[in-house]
Amino acid sequence: MRDLLLQTIPSLNGDECDKFVAYYELLIDWNTRMNLTAITAPEDVVKKHFADSLAALPFLPEGARVADVGTGAGFPGIPLLIVRPDLKLTLVDSLQKRVGFLQTVLQTLDLKAECVHARAEDFGRDPVYRAGFDRTVSRAVASLPVLLELTVPLLKVGGKSICYKGDATEELALSKNARKRLHTDVETVPVPSDYGMRSLIICTKNAPTPSQYPRKAGLPSKNPL
C-alpha cells in the first residue's frame, strides 16, 4: 500500500502515508458491514478515491472553511484534510451510518473535522451554516443543476463550489438556468487521469443566494432548476 501511495502521490510524507494506510484499512473493514464503496482493490482506491480527491488542492486557500456535501465514506474531504490539516472542514451526509464511520476515521487518524448528519437542503437553510463557507467540494452526489442548488447557498459571496465530475459538457449546458438564478460564474478545469475523463467544475458565487434556495428536501432533484 505504501509503495502504491508513493508511486501515485509522490508528494506524500511518512505521516500522511500512515494516515492513508489506516484510512484504507478502516474503509475495507467497515465495508464488510455497511455499503461504503464498490472500489476496494488497493490500486483502485489509491487512484480513484485518494488521488482523485486531491484534485481540488490548488483551489483551497490556507485555512479555508470547507464543506464536503454528500461526503459518503469521506471523499473528497478526508484525503484533502490528511494533506491540508489547516482546512476547517465540515463533512455532511444524509446517512447516519456513514457519519459514524467518518467519526471513527477522524479519531483514528487524529484529524479534526465537524461531521453533520443532514440533508444538504436543510443544512443550507440553517443560519449556522448558510453563507459561511469559502469552498464546498462534492463528488458523485448529484447532477450539476441540483448540486449547485445544494452547495451555492452555503458559500460566502466570492466563495467557490468545486464539483468533481467526469465529462460534464452536457451537465454544464443543463445548468445554465441554475447558474443564473444562483448568481454564479463557471470555470472547467481538466484533471489528468488514466481512468477516464475527469474534471472540476468550479462555480464562483457573485451575489447572495435568493432566500428561496435551496428548496425543501427532495425538490432540487425532483424538479432541477
- Residues near ligand SAM (CB under 6 A): 70-73, 75, 92-95, 98, 119-121, 139-141, 150
State the nearest-atom distance from the C-beta of 221 to ligand SAM, in Å: 7
The nearer residue to ligand SAM, 75 or 133, going by C-beta atoms, is: 75
The nearer residue to ligand SAM, 159 or 220, going by C-beta atoms, is: 220
The nearer residue to ligand SAM, 46 or 158, going by C-beta atoms, is: 46
The nearer residue to ligand SAM, 136 or 184, going by C-beta atoms, is: 136
- Cβ neighbours, 10 Å, residue 51: 18
C-alpha distance across the termini of the chain, in Å: 43
**Closest residue (Cβ) to ligand SAM?**
72
- Give dist(CA 136, CA 146) in Å, integer: 14
- Give dist(CA 68, CA 139) in Å, integer: 9
State the nearest-atom distance from the C-beta of 37 to ligand SAM, in Å: 7
State the nearest-atom distance from the C-beta of 65 to ligand SAM, in Å: 18
Can you say how many angstroms the Cα of residue 200 is from the centroid of all Cα atoms in its chain? Answer: 11
State the nearest-atom distance from the C-beta of 14 to ligand SAM, in Å: 26
- Give dist(CA 212, CA 208) in Å, integer: 12
Number of separate helices (H) and strands (E) present in the chain = 11, 7
